[in-house]
């Protein structure tokens, strides 16, 4: 089943700005099945001055037009012969904030409008504009009314804003669900979890979330089963055979749960893994290579004296 097509999406490079700064809007949309007569509209307050528009390849720069309606500035892009039905396109608009120095919120709206005036989809972005620099709070009160000092400090705030945003969101870098993919190996090294580059990112994140379990229950069936199920995205069945300690002496006894001889291993584990279809193609392994990989993982997770057997059954690849 095909995933639903995204109709319209609008995002800004930053939701906080100062007067005079440049705001960048990224607009992604799917061309309607019948683009004739349809129009892509981008509406923003007149205090925002359009400086540049990046259009999809093959679309002439003379195609967009700008209209003023009440207090809004509207960019109109007709979706006609230059657009292919069903095609996903991206438009980048850059606008200068020519606002007065006061705290305010500016609303930008993108919409897909048909020839009859009906709206297929619409998205809005609210941009917060601050009239004074935040760094003023660290200066004596007499600078509060000094416009030049405020605007001067805004320059430094703009330069440092990306770094400040990273610092404000530092906790996200230690969250397995939120940390960027490039930080996953670094985060995994903190808990001593090896990262297989052939493993999908979502599985690595799931393994990271279970790192405490792997250490607390190391060498147990629970930890091994959890790890293998996440790693393979399949079904894991583990059967273990235990035995009471055999102690030589007057009280020493032999029974069905005490094994002697090299061919009878009481401390043994049998692991059966049902691997979903397409897993071999995804990782580029043969069946023998994949099974050997599972043996290496199990060997590293079970006690050294444990004898184990691993068998993998591969489901048919879905059509």
**pLDDT at position 174, please?**
86
Residue ranges in the chain modelled with pLDDT below 50: 1-5, 262, 319
pLDDT of residue 91: 92
- For the chain, the farthest-separated pair of C-alpha atoms sits apart, in whole angstroms, at 102
In angstroms, the CA 14 to CA 190 distance is: 32
For residue range 116-125, what is the model confidence (pLDDT) as tens digits?
888 888 999 9
Residue 231 domain-assigned?
Answer: yes
Residue 36 sits in the same domain as residue 85: yes
Neighbouring C-beta atoms of residue 297, cutoff 10 Å: 19
Evaluate whether residue 248 is within a structural domain: no
Q: Are 90 and 98 in contact (CB under 8 A)?
A: no
For residues 124 and 219, membership in a common domain is answered with no
Q: What CA–CA distance (Å, rounded) separates 310 from 228? A: 11
196-205 pLDDT tens trace: 888 889 999 9
DSSP assignment, residue 171? Answer: G
CA distance 65 to 77: 7
Q: Residues 158, 216: one domain?
A: no
Supply the range of the domain harboring residue 14. 8-131
CA dist., res. 189 & res. 195, Å (int): 9
Q: Tokens 């790693």 label which residue?
A: 231
Q: Are residues 18 and 74 in the same domain?
A: yes
What span, in angstroms and rounded, lies between the C-alpha atoms of 249 and 207? Answer: 46
Gap between the Cα atoms of 150 and 103, Å rounded: 13
Same domain (yes/no): 55, 70 = yes
- State the burial class of residue 44 (Cβ atoms within 10 Å of its Cβ: 0-12, 13-18, 19+): buried
In eight-state DSSP terms, residue 58 is T
The first and second tokens of residue 243, run together, are 């035995």
Same domain membership, residue 49 and residue 61: yes
Mean per-residue pLDDT over the chain, rounded: 83
User: What pLDDT was estimated at residue 3?
Assistant: 36
Condensed to tens digits (0 to 9), the pLDDT of residues 41-95 reads 999 999 999 999 999 888 888 899 988 888 889 999 998 888 888 888 999 999 9
Mark whether 14 and 127 lie in a shared domain. Answer: yes
Q: CA separation (Å) from 313 to 8, 263, 269, 302? A: 43, 25, 17, 21
Q: In the sheet where 38-45 sits, what is the strand order?
A: 16-17, 119-129, 104-113, 38-45, 72-79, 65-69
Buried b (16+ CB within 10 A) or exposed e, 18-27: bbebebebeb
What pLDDT does residue 252 have? 58
Q: Does 274 fall in a domain? A: yes
Instruction: Write down the pTM of the prediction.
Output: 0.52
Local structure of residue 249 (DSSP, 8 states):
S
Residue 107: the pLDDT is 92
CATH number at residue 237: 3.30.300
Considering the domain boundaries, does residue 259 fall inside one?
Answer: no
In a domain, 52, yes or no: yes
Co-location of 49 and 141 in the same domain: no
DSSP track, 100-116: -SS-EEEEEEEEEE-TT
Query: Which of 68, 103, 131 marks a domain boundary?
Result: 131
Residue 12 lies in a domain: yes
Query: 273 and 230 in one domain?
Result: yes
Residue 227 falls inside a structural domain: yes
Domain-ending residue, one of 112, 131, 150: 131
**Residue 134 three-state SS:** helix
- The confidence score (pLDDT) of residue 1 equals 35
Helices (H), the chain: 147-168, 184-190, 201-209, 211-216, 221-232, 279-283, 287-301
Quick one: 20 and 113 in the same domain? yes
pLDDT the model gives residue 70: 84
If one counts the domains in the chain, the total is: 3
Same domain, 121 and 151: no
Instruction: Indicate which CATH number applies to the domain containing 15.
Output: 2.60.40.740
Question: Is the same domain home to 12 and 96?
Answer: yes
Which residue among 144, 168, 192 closes a domain?
A: 168
Half-sphere exposure of 267 (CA within 13 A, CB side): 10
- CA nearest neighbour of 112 among 131, 88, 143: 88
- The answer to whether 233 touches 202, Cβ cutoff 8 Å, is no
Inside any domain, residue 225: yes
């Amino acid at each position: 089943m095909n995933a639903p097509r995204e109709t319209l999406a609008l995002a800004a490079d930053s939701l906080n700005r100062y007067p005079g700064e440049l705001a960048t809007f990224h607009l992604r949309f799917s061309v309607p099945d019948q683009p004739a007569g349809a129009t892509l509209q981008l509406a923003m307050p007149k205090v925002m001055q359009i400086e540049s528009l990046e259009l999809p390849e093959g679309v002439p720069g003379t195609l967009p037009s700008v209209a003023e309606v009440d207090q809004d500035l509207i960019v109109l892009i007709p979706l006609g012969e230059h657009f292919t039905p069903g095609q996903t396109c991206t438009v980048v608009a850059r606008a200068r904030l020519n606002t007065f120095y006061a705290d305010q919120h500016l609303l930008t709206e993108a919409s897909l409008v048909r020839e009859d005036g009906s709206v297929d989809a619409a998205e809005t972005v609210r941009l917060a504009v601050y009239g004074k620099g935040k760094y003023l709070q660290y200066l004596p009160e007499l600078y509060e009314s000094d416009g030049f000092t405020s605007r001067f400090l805004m320059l430094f705030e703009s330069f440092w804003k990306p770094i400040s945003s990273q610092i404000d969101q530092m906790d996200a870098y230690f969250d397995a669900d939120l940390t960027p993919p490039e930080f996953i190996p670094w985060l995994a090294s903190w808990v001593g979890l090896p990262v297989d580059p052939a493993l999908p990112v979502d599985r690595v994140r799931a393994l990271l979330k279970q790192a405490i379990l792997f250490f607390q229950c190391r060498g147990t069936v629970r930890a091994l089963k959890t790890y293998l199920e996440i790693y393979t995205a399949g079904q894991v069945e583990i059967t273990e055979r235990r035995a009471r300690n055999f102690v030589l002496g007057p009280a020493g006894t032999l029974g069905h749960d005490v094994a002697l001889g090299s061919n009878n291993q009481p401390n043994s584990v049998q692991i059966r893994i049902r691997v979903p279809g397409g897993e071999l193609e995804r990782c580029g392994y043969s069946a023998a290579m994949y099974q050997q990989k599972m043996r290496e993982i199990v060997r590293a997770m079970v006690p050294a004296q444990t004898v184990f057997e691993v068998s993998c059954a591969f489901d048919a690849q879905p059509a």
